[in-house]
Structure 1
Amino acid sequence: MTEVHGRVWRSGKPVDGFAFSDISDCLADDDTLVWADIYDPDHDALTALAEELGLNLWAVEDATAPKERAKATVYSTHTFFTVYAVQCLTLPSDDDVASTLARHRISAFVLPRGLITVRLPPVEGGDPNFGIDQVSQRFDELGGQEHGVGALVHGLLDVVVDGHFDAVQALDDDIESLEDELFADDGPRRGLQRRTFRYRKDLVELRRVVLPMREVVSAVKSRRLDSKTAPELDPLYDDLYDHVLRASEWTESLRDMVTTVFETNLSLQDARLNTVMKKLTSWAAIIAVPTAVTGFFGQNVEYPGFSTVAGFIVSSAVIMLLVAALYIGFKRRDWL
């Protein structure tokens, strides 16, 4: 079901009573700034709005098309971009399969005096309004309408990038916990291999979201430099771009880390198996000695000491000496 929310600022002050039907009138007023947020949009209504505002129809199709990648496109009258906000989910302790991340797709049309965001329901679950309320808050913190629509776009992208940082930090902590489990005295708990694959899959999905953000922020920043509007926001966009680069580099390093965890776990499993095999082989050799000696003395043939106490004592001494020699030898080689 389509939900529409928004805010209007006129002469630098917020105005109550936002109406979806008044968007075009607000955008036509030089002293007005409008932000319209459309959740789960109706395609026909969105197309009609696009025709009224002169938005590119292919961009409208991209805003509602499934599985669209994060990207940015600059048109003559507006800029269109698609990004993904990421939310960390809390899963049951016994769930080693479900994803720990929920992606929220946000498409935006940046106009000279307005911003129209189009959000689709998250497929993986999570709060449908995740992070969207923070956009207005950060816009107000920057001074509101004083810096124009650039401050509103910066607030949106800043919230998205901060969500990426939170997701990367959460995955980093989870992967470090896997490393601690690997070298625990009692060994890793059950399901470590599945959890490793889950984090690896989450990192692949996060990488697809984080890496294209460089293109998005760069395109928005370049369009701002061309328009020469609110130059005081340029350092903020530079800082935002730096955060995007850091998130990308962090994601790449985590991919290497989770691969190392996976390979180390296999190596440790081989090492544990070798230790078990050495112990089993050692005890089998030790047990074979009394079996061989008693089997020899149990033959139905006469030999020195047959049916005498001396023969029993000699056989027992031979068993004890050989067993002790084998035990000491294996112990020195760390097989026992």
Structure 2
Amino acid sequence: MTTTRCYRNGVLFDEGFSLEELGEYLSHDNAIIWVDLYSPSPQELQTVADELTLHSLAVEGAATAQQRPKFNRYDNHDFLSAYAVRLDAETGELTTAEVAAFITPKALITVRKDDSFPIDDLLDHLDQNAELTSHGISALLYGLLDFVIDGHFDTVQALDDQIETLEDLLFDDRPHDPDVQRRSFELRKSLVQLRRVILPMREVVNTLIRRDVDLVPSAMAPYYQDLYDHVLRATEWTDSLRDLVSTIVETNLTIQGNRLNIITKKVTSWAAIIAVPTAITGFYGQNLPYPGFAHISGFIASTLLIVGLSVGLFVVFKRNDWL
């Protein structure tokens, strides 16, 4: 599953050609190539590497999974590694899709390890910004990075919505302690994973916009600066959400402690009230004569004591908000 496109003077000229034809298309003046390789075989990857004289370390990085997001420079090309992300709203689980890219003056070669990377959405995104392709490879690279970083931003927004829902559960009248604890753990885990993906992108984009790199023309500089701003906002937002989830966990523990104190206070108050009739009936249950023994007056006196003291304790505890 290989996708190929050729642009001439900023206009889509041809697509769907084979890898063996790369050299022919690259020989055309004012032509730039975009090739997407899906889980390429070693032979396919080597064909592209031979055609574009790619560095062996870059080829190895593209073939190896779980690379750190990075941007490396070589003699005749650059290498980029990044991740698209998606959040499952039901489970709070974060899914990452790795993409590697070889960047040459006339070609952008992307390599996907599996089909989790939404290549069709990327194609639509590139078509929506087709007017930028007249600026060369930097425009295709911008389209790729803009698509990836927009996905990061949407995921952070989704996590923010999930945390707001978690806050509603936290202060609900009905206790949701197990749900809050489990959801907090899931969201914190996703935020940590997302931060590992987003944070290195700040360095990647910052390197791209440096003047000494000379990869981004002046016409594309504002677009890359906008990318950098989005990366900074996503990074800061992720850090603040991670702190917020930690605060929610601590608040939930505090609420549990307060709820336990209230329950303990109420149980103790009722135990004190119940202790009154227990003590009185225990006293009158002595196996020896006492005032009112074997008389109706003793029964009336004990009953009045039980009712009076119990009602008195109830009123005192209720007034002090112990019941």
Scaled by the length of structure 1, the TM-score of the pair is 0.90
Alignment of 1:135-150 (within 5 A): 135-140=125-130, 143-150=131-138
* Whole-angstrom distance in 1 between the partners of 2:297 and 2:118: 89
Provide the residue aligned with 2:31 in structure 1. Answer: 32
Provide the residue aligned with 2:62 in structure 1. Answer: 63
Post-superposition offset of 1:308:
1.3
CA contact (8 A) 1:30 1:113 kept: no
CA contact (8 A) 2:8 2:30 kept: yes
Q: Deviation per CA, 1:298-331: give whole Å up to 9, x if none.
A: 2111001111121111111111121122112221
Post-superposition offset of 1:120:
1.3
Provide the residue aligned with 1:266 in structure 2. Answer: 253
Match of 2:299 among 304, 312, 326: 312
Q: Percent identity?
A: 47
Match of 1:234 among 214, 217, 221: 221
Higher alpha-carbon deviation: 159-168 or 143-152: 143-152
CA contact (8 A) 1:82 1:105 kept: yes
CA contact (8 A) 1:74 1:219 kept: no
* Whole-angstrom distance in 2 between the partners of 1:265 and 1:332: 28
Post-superposition offset of 1:86:
0.8
Post-superposition offset of 1:210:
0.4
Gap change, CA 1:297 and 1:226, over 3 Å in 2: closer
Provide the residue aligned with 1:95 in structure 2. Answer: none
Post-superposition offset of 1:29:
2.8
Give secondary structure in 2 for the equivalent of 1:116. strand
CA contact (8 A) 2:138 2:215 kept: no
The two structures, once aligned, show a CA RMSD in angstroms of: 1.8
Would you say how many aligned residue pairs link Structure 1 and Structure 2? 322
Q: Deviation per CA, 1:242-278: give whole Å up to 9, x if none.
A: 1100000000000100000111111111111111111
CA contact (8 A) 1:148 1:230 kept: no
CA contact (8 A) 2:208 2:216 kept: no
CA contact (8 A) 2:9 2:134 kept: no
1:176 matched to 2:144? The reply is no
1:151 matched to 2:139? The reply is yes
Post-superposition offset of 1:115:
0.6
Gap change, CA 1:216 and 1:226, over 3 Å in 2: closer
Give secondary structure in 2 for the equivalent of 1:289. helix
Alignment of 1:38-57 (within 5 A): 38-57=37-56
* Whole-angstrom distance in 2 between the partners of 1:216 and 1:190: 40
Gap change, CA 1:130 and 1:193, over 3 Å in 2: farther
Give secondary structure in 2 for the equivalent of 1:200. helix
Provide the residue aligned with 2:2 in structure 1. Answer: 4
CA contact (8 A) 1:87 1:130 kept: no
Provide the residue aligned with 2:322 in structure 1. Answer: 335
Provide the residue aligned with 2:275 in structure 1. Answer: 288
* Whole-angstrom distance in 2 between the partners of 1:23 and 1:215: 32
1:132 matched to 2:122? The reply is yes
Segments of 5+ residues of structure 1 without an aligned counterpart are 92-97
Higher alpha-carbon deviation: 265-274 or 187-196: 187-196
CA contact (8 A) 2:11 2:134 kept: no
Moved over 6 A (4+): none
Match of 1:121 among 114, 126, 129: 114
Gap change, CA 1:73 and 1:229, over 3 Å in 2: closer
Provide the residue aligned with 1:106 in structure 2. Answer: 99
Segments of 5+ residues of structure 2 without an aligned counterpart are none
Q: Deviation per CA, 1:69-93: give whole Å up to 9, x if none.
A: 11111122111110001122243xx
* Whole-angstrom distance in 2 between the partners of 1:45 and 1:263: 52
* Whole-angstrom distance in 2 between the partners of 1:317 and 1:21: 104
Give secondary structure in 2 for the equivalent of 1:185. coil
Give secondary structure in 2 for the equivalent of 1:191. helix
